[in-house]
Chains A and B, each alone.
Chain A
Amino acid sequence: MSPVKRAFHYFTRKITHSIIMVLTLTAIFILILTVLSATAAGKNYIHQIKLSFSKNITLSSYRSTDVLTCENIKKIADTLGAVNYKCLSNTLPAELLNEAGKPLDVYLKKDILVSAGFEHAGTVRSNSSSEQDELFADGTFELTEGRHLNKNDGGKALIHRNLAEANGLSVGDIIGLDFPGEIVEDLSGDYDTENMDLKGSNVQIVGIFQTAQPAEEASGLELSHLLCENSCFIDMNTYSSFFRSDGSTFFHKVTFTISNSAELENAVNTIQNLDWIDWSACSIWSDIDVYGPAIDALSSLNDLLETGLLLILLVCLLILIIIISYGVKRRKKETGILLALGITPNSIVLQHIIEALLSTVTAILLSIILSGGIVKSGSDYLINTTVNQANENGDASHNDPGILKTNPVFTLASTTIYSAALLETALVTISAIAVSVPFMRKKPNELIKI
């Protein structure tokens, strides 16, 4: 009789032992499957998050005018291989005066907050071309008279229609920009005002614009100098003269766009490794700052699961050895009889392996039926707990819960099942061999005790 037949008879007729083995192996398989599935789901979720990243990296430098010069911006873009970059408009608060030096009447509305020293202040914006400013580009503003500013202009400005009408100004008129003490104090929080030349300047109006579509309503109290109606634009050369004695142009903020959002992390590291950038005066921001804590938490979970899997396999191996050992020891006499009858040791070991594998196959089939619920619940619990904990620990002001609260799409991949089945089969085979082989070295009489 072949070892396969002997094994089959044992498996089907020793029901109690077979049930114990099948239930134990089912529990082990579901455990292995849950860990593998959670790891795969976690990796997949991290990948989904990274794919959802915007491709933009924003570099800001308010306290230094040497970093984001036009030349350096191009150098950074080339280093990154950026497909595009956008220099965001520079902005400053400034007191607005007429040609005679009298403060202009600025637009005020109900519930507006006017800071001391800012009673006649507005926001001065500047870019290489006023047409490139975000507020013109997104349709908030539209030019109604005159022309836009360009990079060759010096001492030129655009003002809002409200300011023009409230103060009787038109294209060609001169206005002044000044920086009284309160404004300089306010600037000193972000800018290196000690090295700035904030003596003020006169600029000529070359264009008038109006609000085409209102900007989003700000939440909370608004500051008067930040209202659209109190905006004006000046050329980059005039703006730069407030910061640099040589007047060379620079930007406070640039957004670089890379080609592949999955490479965002590498791109950020590339910029951070540029040793010529004074990082004490610069900051970098990307979607990694928002989703980084969740990704780190998920990565840590994956590392833990992968390490834990090894430990789980060792523990399962030990459990299997104990259970199979108990079974084989109970069959000492049977082993002795088989040896006495001339059945070879290899045949007996093979029989034990096949018996264990029959239990394994049954357990795997049972696990697959059960796993849709149990494994999914287990994996979801691990990942959602990790993500929710990361959300709670993260910076609430930057936290966009939208994507992270979306549950990962759980699928029990066939590769995961095959991997788990392979691992369990290996565990069972190793256990059966480890337990059976030592008995084969004994004499039949020792086992039968005749």
Chain B
Amino acid sequence: MLELKNINFSYNRNSFVLKNLNAAFLPGKVYAILGASGCGKTTLLSILGGLDIPDEGSVLLNGRPINEKELPDYRRKEVAFIFQNFNLIDYLTAEENLNLISTLDALPVLEKVGIDKKLAKQNALKLSGGQQQRVAVARALISDASVLLADEPTGNLDVANADAVTKLLVNYAHNLEDKCVIIVTHSADVANQADVVLKLEGGILK
């Protein structure tokens, strides 16, 4: 179980993006986080993913707070991140981007997201936006992380592909009992497929 306890976070001292935020995320469930643009959804996700450190409060995994020194291990073993801007490594192929974090065969996972062998061998930047996003999803799926964090994972996809990717993420949580998926999204379709829908407003998660 992933918990946030009394999280406060601000980019400057005058205004807090997240205020005394408490939340718990259980394995086997899909969470959708909605909210207006700029309300702090991505910030919340980055704190959950260990990419940022809250000003106050703590992130707990299975009841144990994660300290700063443990963050690299936490990022490598416990969480997988799907970035809104894909963030693929530009000098690697699609397949090699998956090989960054896993020694498993990347091609079957890429095929699941609709990337064939030919595309898999291409340099990541030569793929279209939609293809890059699917590679980013595949990169998260191939990891064995207990928490999958996705920031607008279907933003650049057409309806059919978006639906396929959403199903993959939902199955990831439901079929593997110890996995939890947390999705930041503006899409009602994605939210409808989640088990829990949360709204971030005024720095508080409701």
A residues at B contact (CB < 8 Å): 1, 6, 9-10, 13-14, 333-334, 337-345, 443-445, 448, 450
Contacts and interface: CB of A to CB of B under 8 A. Distances in A.
B87 A444 contact: no
Given A445-B46, A445-B52, A448-B51, A341 B101 contact: yes
Question: What are the 6 closest A-B residue pairs judged by CB atoms, nearest first?
Answer: A342-B76, A342-B75, A444-B51, A13-B91, A445-B51, A445-B52
A334 B75 contact: no
Given A9-B91, A342-B76, A450 B51 contact: yes
B53 A9 contact: no
Nearest to B103: A1
B75 A10 contact: no
Nearest to A12: B91
A340 B87 contact: yes
A392 to B, nearest CB: 58
Contacts of A344: 72, 76
B100 A450 contact: no
B96 A340 contact: no
A89 B42 CA distance: 105
A340 B76 contact: no
25 contacts: A1-B96, A1-B99, A6-B92, A6-B100, A9-B96, A13-B91, A13-B123, A14-B91, A334-B89, A337-B83, A340-B49, A340-B51, A340-B75, A340-B81, A340-B83, A341-B100, A341-B101, A342-B72, A343-B76, A343-B100, A344-B72, A443-B52, A443-B53, A444-B75, A450-B84
Contacts of B206: none
Contacts of A333: 87
Contact of B72 (A10, A334, A345, A445): A345
Given A342-B76, A343-B76, A450-B83, A1 B100 contact: yes
A10 B139 CA distance: 20
A283 B128 CA distance: 91
Contacts of A339: 72, 75
Contacts of B52: 443-445
Contacts of A13: 91, 123
Interface residues of B, number: 27
Nearest to B140: A341
Contacts of A342: 72-73, 75-77, 101
A337 B84 CA distance: 12
Contacts, number: 66
Contacts of B84: 450
Contacts of A10: 91
Given A341-B100, A450-B42, A450-B83, 19 more contacts: A1-B100, A6-B100, A9-B92, A10-B91, A13-B91, A14-B91, A334-B89, A339-B75, A340-B49, A341-B76, A341-B139, A342-B75, A342-B76, A344-B72, A345-B72, A444-B75, A445-B46, A450-B46, A450-B85
A153 B151 CA distance: 119
Contacts of A340: 49, 51, 75, 81, 83, 87
Contacts of B92: 6, 9
A341 B98 CA distance: 10
Interface of B: 42, 46, 49, 51-53, 72-73, 75-77, 81, 83-85, 87, 89-92, 96, 99-101, 123, 139, 151
Contacts of B75: 339-342, 444
B60 to A, nearest CB: 19
A437 to B, nearest CB: 15
B94 to A, nearest CB: 13
Contacts of B81: 340-341
B74 to A, nearest CB: 8
Contacts of B51: 340, 443-445, 448, 450
B89 to A, nearest CB: 6
A342 B77 CA distance: 7
B89, B96, B151 — which one has the most chain A CB atoms within 10 A of its CB? Answer: B89
Nearest to B86: A337
Contacts of B123: 13
A334 B87 CA distance: 8
B194 to A, nearest CB: 22
A95 to B, nearest CB: 100
A343 B72 CA distance: 7
B42, B72, B73, B123 — which one has the most chain A CB atoms within 10 A of its CB? Answer: B72
Contacts of A450: 42, 46, 51, 83-85, 87, 151
Contacts of B99: 1
A379 B139 CA distance: 55
Nearest to B53: A443
A443 B55 CA distance: 13
A9 B123 CA distance: 11
B68 to A, nearest CB: 9
Nearest to B52: A445
